Structure 1
């Protein structure tokens, strides 16, 4: 079994003075949610997600060799402009991963990052942002150690991304990614994400995700605070058991193509996540009235048409509408006719299942 120690970089066979890399990494949407974590970004339960395609972060990492003066040295640009308020998060990330990447203090970095989706659009950018940065850091490590295998490269990139943002480890590689130990998923780990082990059924190829932007404001409660509320939650242990059970179920569903079963699991998981927040102390209602209006509209449409469309939610008010590619035309018409009015400024983003991070 792979441990944290396996990711400590030691021997560098190459000398690198300066250069740059550029990677894109997508966001992802969890089907079975993780909520609650232990020390060092270890999940309290396993999760599985669809990797997205269009909603991504593009990050360029420039590096120049310097004297190792015992400090991290970097400039941070967002869309080409200095972004000082992002720097503490990157500083904290470097501190967390330094044990595994001791070469970080040997270079001055210029990090230039941008999102393909609007900033403050209500879509979490921490997963895509940390995944893109982790891929760049691993490109530097591979330049220092060219004998590194591709498997190790991607495992360690996912491991590092997790230390920046838990769900970022699911944005590295694969259409469907599992994070967290699970008895039925070979190679599954709390330390990094792994590709879904079974062949994905044709029903889920190019699966669509239209994100309805109900509320683009700042999150009512941060993910860190939300996860912490699970520590003394009265229903936590039962929830963790449920997640394991649902992951077993969805593993079979993704292989068999059973869309009816998929819908039941995915919608139940979304509502359970919000139920946990509503029953924590302190408690939060993260949905907005328009979130509920959209959910009811989706249910009514599905009942009337028998088209397999469903929703899922992150820890916020926005709604991800999930549906097969062969229903795309009619679902987009339904969204325009009946759901856009519930979106802030009528905004929504069309996306679909993707494959993970890509070098540019």
Structure 2
């Protein structure tokens, strides 16, 4: 188990130029992370567990060149979908400042970051998670070039650690199909610093499907950062954090045993609890839309009538993630087409499934993939 101090890079070599490209997926939490400890370094108030997705991802290229005139400032250009994106730059600047102590070599280089999403930005799909995870693994590719001796485990855990400092849930997008983040009383290897893979998953949950119904593709009315901060004085915060510990213990058992019925109950309860926390904070807010509720009621009716183990979950937004086993994919997609598409903005939805985490696309021509 690595500590903060273990991730401080020392005795690094140097390169003149390097180019890397990685993809990193979004993830969907089953037990939700909502609330941060007041330490300022993205430490979760409760543990969470998520499915890593496959198709909803960020693809980021990093071009690195040694500075001709070294300075104490970070130097970077940022492109989003091939065009300069000035309004993203403050977030990247803040991220680089947060990781400076762990990656001091970055100030020796000019960075050109070129990024794109396969899904709508700021639409309730975790674009910050995939974006920061993709940037973190690119930075770790640079570090591995500077320190070739670092191990695969170190690479993945430090990438997750760095991603967390950009966006908390990003640490769950680096490695693994099912990932736990946050210190959990019944998971010895769990950590607040990075995500760890949960591998004891029953066949019932292999290739699990997630169809994301895009109810509202606009930017969220309330940012996740604001929402997390509202948990500091929330009247139900301590009960919620205890509930998350309990539910994480329960869902580990559910995933190991393949219990689809209990999975449905717990995942839907977690989704509604997340939004209940929003509705009972001060100030309070509602991110669900009328069509979100219509979809939920349709799913409940369909499940009761057909006994198909399909359920929903929600992130901090209006979109609905429809979760179901691969074995019932044809039935559920037909149901979505017949009854749910009408509630999606412009009839749009995304078909996805459990994925493996970040993937190397280019590493200066090398095939080695961490």
| TM-score by shorter chain over 0.5 | yes
Partner of 2:249 in structure 1? 248
Of 162, 165, 168 in structure 2, the residue corresponding to residue 166 of structure 1 is 168
**Whole-Å separation in 1 of the counterparts to 2:175 and 2:211:** 21
Identify if the C-alpha distance between structure 1 residues 232 and 120 changes in structure 2 by more than 3 Å, giving closer, same or farther: closer
Q: 1:93 aligns with which of 89, 92, 95?
A: 95
Indicate the SS of the match to 2:241. Answer: helix
Between stretches 114-123 and 164-173, larger displacement belongs to 114-123
1:326 aligns with 2:306: no
Task: Say if 2:153 is the partner of 1:154.
Answer: no
The structural deviation recorded for 1:121 is 4.2
- What SS does structure 2 have at the residue aligned with 1:231? coil
Name 1:176's counterpart in structure 2. Answer: 178
Greater mean deviation of Cα atoms: 76-85 or 266-275: 76-85
Mapped contact 2:123–2:317 kept (Cα < 8 A): no
Q: How far did 1:120 drift?
A: 4.7
SS in 2 for 1:174: coil
Normalised TM-score (structure 2): 0.95
Asked if 1:286 is matched to 2:287, the reply is: yes
| Structure 1 residues 97-116: aligned runs within 5 Å | 97-116=99-118
Alignment of 1:1-360 (within 5 A): 2-12=2-12, 14-38=13-37, 39=39, 40-66=41-67, 67-196=69-198, 198-360=199-361
Q: CA RMSD in A?
A: 0.9
How many aligned positions are there? 358
Distance in 2 (CA, whole Å) between partners of 1:297 and 1:341 is: 12
Most deviating of 268-277 and 121-130: 121-130
What secondary structure, in the 3-state scheme, does the structure 2 residue paired with 1:104 have?
helix
Q: Secondary structure at the match of 1:322?
A: strand
Deviation at 1:216, TM superposition (A): 1.1
Instruction: Supply the distance in 2 between the matched residues of 1:178 and 1:119 (Cα, whole angstroms).
Output: 25
Shift of 1:80: 1.0
Displacement after TM superposition at 1:52 (Å): 0.2
| Cα pair 2:124 2:315 within 8 Å, conserved | no
CA distance in 1, matches of 2:103, 2:122: 31
Q: Structure 1, residues 37-66: CA drift from partner, whole Å, max 9, x if none?
A: 012100000000000000000000000001
Superposed CA offset, 1:132-175 (max 9, x none): 00000000001000000110000000000000000000000000
**Structure 2 CA distance, aligned partners of 1:185 and 1:23?**
30
- Unpaired runs of 5+ in structure 1? none
TM-score (norm 1): 0.98
